[in-house]
Homo-oligomer: A and B are copies of this chain.
């Protein structure tokens, strides 16, 4: 039960970076949902390595092939499996590399877990490439949610110490769409330029840099989620930590609320157009694990890509001796901006699962 998540909607990811194909199986999709393939491809394009110097120069086509679950692009209720065939990846002399685990990669823990049997060529199952099938699932979930007035959007909140502005109290679908169309997914383009400059400088110094992604969902009804261990936060966090490189997840003000007084952090209830709302949204739309009808907001911390071109200390697994390592090839100096649609995808998938489950507090 490792590479799967969800309750009524189960999403299973499979594949290794240098295997025959990667893919996703989605069990429990509602029937009768048309998949807009252009929209899905546009969504997938957002996580693909771009043509700019901000990303790896590796080209990926990533055209999904749908094996099941569809008739004429309409879901038929049974499991939907989609794959992306891997191009011939020229797996070179990986044997040498495999003896020297890359610092802060899963090379070492995969070796402990699966012995010499782990397929860690190109990062194997831990590769960022596995986020492509996640985006297929999440892109489909986004379309199904959007038809019900629920929209999920995200932006790059920071790169290193350079920050974007935060989402407003009431983010809109238009704002989400605008950001999604930008080559660099930020709210404030001027700040975005500074963030990009930081990434380019990082690349020049053969290093990498981390970032933070802020995600929001609007249009959710109040009453979704269950108390304690099956709340919105539990389920979103459990899924979001499945994205490679995520080291922190917070909702609303998150760690920021830990520095505040209650009088600063509490969200007063008020009435707006006959509806009960909160005047602020430091809780991120969630109280007691249950949605309160305000936007659900969350932030995830993305660590700097561990693959850097600087020389690093490591060990030889065969000899249990200290060693040096210089990782060859070109790597992303930052993955946080490419992870923005992935966070949207995972969030959308979890929310669709919750929507399918509904509020069964009373029946």
Contact = CB atoms under 8 A, between A and B. Distances in A.
A106 B288 CA distance: 5
Interface residues of A, number: 160
29 contacts: A1-B226, A2-B231, A4-B12, A4-B27, A14-B81, A19-B68, A22-B67, A30-B361, A31-B114, A32-B362, A71-B119, A74-B117, A77-B361, A101-B269, A109-B288, A110-B290, A112-B290, A112-B361, A113-B361, A228-B242, A234-B241, A237-B249, A242-B289, A247-B257, A248-B249, A249-B250, A250-B301, A257-B303, A276-B317
Interface centre among A7, A116, A223 (most CB of B within 10 A): A223
B207 A261 contact: yes
A217 interface: no
Given A31-B114, A78-B3, A265-B104, A238 B229 contact: yes
A113 B287 contact: no
Contacts of A105: 287-288
A183 interface: no
Interface in A308-347: 308, 310, 312-315, 317, 320-322, 336
A117 B23 contact: no
Contacts of A237: 234, 237-238, 241, 249
A264 B103 CA distance: 11
Contact of A125 (B227, B322, B360, B362): B227
Interface stretch (A164-172, A188-196, A208-216): A208-216
Contacts of A77: 110, 113-114, 117-118, 125, 361-362
Interface stretch (A36-44, A53-61, A174-182, A351-359): A351-359
Given A8-B357, A130-B228, A67 B80 contact: no
Q: How many copies of this chain are found per oligomer?
A: 4
A295 interface: no
Contacts of A4: 10, 12, 27, 228-230
Contacts of A80: 14
Closest 10 CB pairs of A and B: A106-B288, A2-B226, A248-B250, A113-B361, A208-B262, A31-B114, A77-B114, A109-B290, A248-B254, A268-B313
Contacts of A303: 253, 257-258, 260, 265
Contacts of A103: 266-269, 278
A232 to B, nearest CB: 9
Contacts of A12: 4, 10, 12, 25, 27, 79
A247 B244 CA distance: 21
Given A67-B14, A104-B267, A268-B312, A361 B115 contact: yes
Contacts of A321: 271
Contacts of A75: 117
Contacts of A208: 261-263
A49 interface: no
B242 A247 contact: no
A25 B14 contact: yes
